[in-house]
């Protein structure tokens, strides 16, 4: 018998954008449980604008309306984290061919480490395919309000607060 599939959407979400939200809300129609697994990576920590606690709070606010979404931090190997949670699907978004090469390698590696794990890709919506967390941070750093069109309100608020603190 096929068990209800638990999916995990891993990422930095620094911050979460409308592109991530689109992938997530579409995945919620496919899987009974989707966990946003926020990468707590020591090596990448200095590259992140938001702390892990700030990102968890932002993500919880942004996904309040999605009942089958959980938000958690994770470190270490993704496949180990999934094994512990009984999750078998890794969810990733694809924006362009440039994402594909990297994603293909990671998907193969993860399946090599745990053959029960499948990576499922959701194509980015055309309207958000140009949006990335790094571009959003760049635009927000100049104080532009345009980012509020590219991110959920929880991210927009967090960006304004963060750049005000840095002034």
Give residues in contact with ligand ADP (CB under 6 A): 11-13, 17, 19-20, 23, 92-93, 95, 99, 124, 128, 131-133
Helix (H) or strand (E) segment spanning residue 117: none
Q: Which positions are annotated as active-site residues?
A: 20, 44, 95, 133
Least Å distance, CB 105 to ligand ADP, is 13
Determine if residue 133 is labeled as part of a ligand binding site: yes
Determine if residue 70 is labeled as part of a ligand binding site: no
Closest to ligand ADP by CB, 3 vs 46, is 46
Exposure string of 29-65, with b = 16+ CB inside 10 Å and e = fewer, is eebebbbbbbbbeeeeeeebbbebebbbebbebbbee
Least Å distance, CB 32 to ligand ADP, is 21
For residue 109, count other CB atoms closer than 10 A to its CB: 11
Closest to ligand ADP by CB, 6 vs 91, is 91
Tokens of 102: 């990297």
Least Å distance, CB 97 to ligand ADP, is 12
Q: Under a CB-based contact definition with an 8 Å cutoff, are residues 35 and 70 in contact?
A: yes
Determine if residue 128 is labeled as part of a ligand binding site: yes
Determine if residue 100 is labeled as part of a ligand binding site: no
Can you tell me the distance from the alpha carbon of 131 to that of 128, in angstroms, rounded to the nearest whole number? 5
Binding residues for ATP: 12-13, 20, 93-95, 103, 128-134
């Amino acid at each position: 018998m096929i068990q209800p599939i638990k999916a995990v959407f891993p990422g930095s979400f620094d911050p979460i954008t409308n592109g991530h939200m689109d992938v997530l809300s579409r995945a919620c129609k496919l899987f009974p449980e989707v966990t946003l697994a926020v990468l707590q990576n020591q090596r990448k920590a200095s590259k992140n604008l938001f702390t892990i606690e700030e990102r968890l709070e932002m993500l919880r606010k942004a996904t309040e309306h999605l009942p089958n979404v959980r938000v958690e931090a994770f470190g270490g190997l993704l496949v180990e984290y999934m094994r512990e949670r009984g999750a078998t699907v890794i969810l990733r978004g694809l924006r362009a061919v440039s994402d594909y090469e990297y994603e293909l390698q990671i998907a193969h590696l993860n399946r090599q480490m745990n053959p029960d794990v499948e990576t499922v890709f959701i194509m980015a919506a055309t309207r958000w395919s140009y949006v990335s967390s790094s571009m959003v941070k760049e635009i927000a750093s100049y104080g532009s309000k345009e980012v509020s069109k590219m991110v959920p309100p929880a991210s927009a608020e967090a960006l304004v607060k963060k750049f005000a603190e840095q002034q």
